[in-house]
């Protein structure tokens, strides 16, 4: 990684450093991408950008006007692994995400609040236009990203896009109840639903050994019920026992999703 292009910045509180790659041309868009459990912003950035497209280039090369922000989580005690490790929130079991859900609450709330702060800062860099801001993540990072999408502080404007891979939705049943009953707080004036403006891409390996594809399907279904336009894709044969972006197929699809979203502004 060329560290002359990278700009690690201290995060607030006990969150780790954000690893930032500046645009290679005039700044037009920003992507905030969240790592999974056990990783950090810099490590994830290097692995993510090493996952190339079918033409051998990476997403940064394909979109030179984009600023890439890779935040880092805190280190939390894992009740499952019996040690401290980088994590956005405590997830006791990925086989049954509802197990000991009470352990998830504090970390999830604090991490979502932190991500929302980053989103606000990056939106300001773009002249206050969230349509030029994209949020993404993998695994636990995708889970936090979905909750940040649900809890946007300014519900009157949608993001340019949201993408996630190999992830699940914490408290899925509760979220579904809120959305189906039409009581979700992101509704704007006069019962409008501005979140419809945020397109969503979700990918998942059918052979994912860590987060079952059914959990991803459930998350996509719930977001679709809430009014988001969700593009769902399934893959097989990705690295990390199916728990990673499928190269190059999924990276090609994400690139098309992001480029198309940028061209539709």
Q: What range defines the domain where residue 173 resides?
A: 19-263
Sequence-distant (6+) residues with CB within 8 A of 133 are: 29, 30, 31, 32, 119, 122, 123, 126, 159, 160
Number of domains in the chain: 1
For the segment 29-61, what is each residue's pLDDT rounded down to a tens digit?
A: 999 999 999 999 999 999 999 999 999 999 999
3 is a domain residue: no
124 found inside a domain: yes
Average pLDDT over residues 140-163: 87
Assign residue 85 the CATH number of its domain.
3.40.50.1820
**Does any domain span residue 136?**
yes
Q: Which of the four pLDDT bands, split at 50, 70 and 90, describes residue 163?
A: very high
**Residue with more model confidence, 136 or 12:** 136
What pLDDT, on a 0 to 100 scale, did the predictor assign at position 262? 74
More confident residue, 77 or 141: 141
Q: What are phi and psi of 187, to 5 degrees?
A: -70, 140
Per-residue pLDDT band at 77 (split at 50, 70, 90): confident
Q: How confident is the model at residue 261 (pLDDT cuts 50, 70, 90)?
A: confident
- Average pLDDT in the chain: 87
Q: Residue ranges of the alpha helices (H) in the chain?
A: 41-50, 59-62, 105-125, 140-150, 172-180, 213-225, 249-263
- At 194, the pLDDT band (50, 70, 90 cuts) reads very low
pLDDT given at position 144: 98
Residue linked to tokens 């991490």: 111
As a whole number, mean pLDDT of residues 157-177 equals: 93
pLDDT of 179 reads 83
How far apart (Å, rounded) are the C-alpha atoms in residues 234 and 221? Answer: 14
Pairwise pLDDT comparison (57 vs 90), residue with the higher score = 57
pLDDT at 10: 40
Evaluate whether residue 114 is within a structural domain: yes
200 in a domain, yes or no?
A: yes
1 in a structural domain: no
Asked if the peptide bond before residue 248 counts as cis, ω within 30 degrees of 0, the response is yes
Q: What is the pTM of this model?
A: 0.89
Burial of 178 (C-beta count, 10 Å sphere; 0-12/13-18/19+): middle
Q: Assess if residue 103 is contained within a domain.
A: yes
- Residue 4 resides in a domain: no
């Amino acid at each position: 990684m060329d560290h002359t292009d990278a700009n690690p910045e201290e995060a607030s509180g006990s969150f780790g450093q954000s690893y930032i790659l500046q645009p290679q041309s005039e700044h037009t868009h920003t992507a905030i991408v969240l790592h999974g459990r056990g990783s950090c912003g810099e490590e994830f950035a290097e692995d993510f950008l090493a996952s190339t497209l079918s033409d051998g280039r990476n997403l940064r090369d394909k979109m030179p006007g984009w600023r890439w922000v890779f935040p880092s989580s805190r280190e939390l005690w894992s009740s499952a692994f019996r040690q401290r490790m980088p994590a956005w929130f405590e997830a006791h079991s990925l086989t049954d995400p509802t197990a000991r859900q009470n352990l998830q609450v504090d970390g999830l709330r604090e991490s979502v609040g932190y991500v929302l702060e980053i989103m606000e800062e990056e939106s300001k860099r773009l002249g206050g236009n969230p349509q030029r801001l994209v949020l993404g993540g993998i695994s636990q990072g995708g889970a936090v990203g979905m909750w940040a999408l649900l809890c946007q502080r300014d519900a009157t404007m949608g993001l340019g896009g949201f993408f996630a891979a190999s992830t699940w939705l914490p408290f899925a049943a509760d979220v579904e109840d809120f959305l189906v009953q039409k009581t979700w707080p992101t509704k704007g004036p006069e019962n409008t639903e501005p979140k419809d403006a945020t397109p969503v891409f979700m990918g998942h390996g059918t052979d994912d050994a860590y987060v079952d594809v059914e959990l991803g399907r459930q998350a996509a279904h719930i977001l679709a019920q809430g009014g988001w336009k969700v593009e769902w894709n399934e893959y097989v044969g990705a690295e990390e026992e199916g728990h990673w972006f499928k190269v190059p197929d999924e990276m090609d699809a994400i690139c098309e999703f992001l480029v198309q979203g940028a061209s539709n502004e």
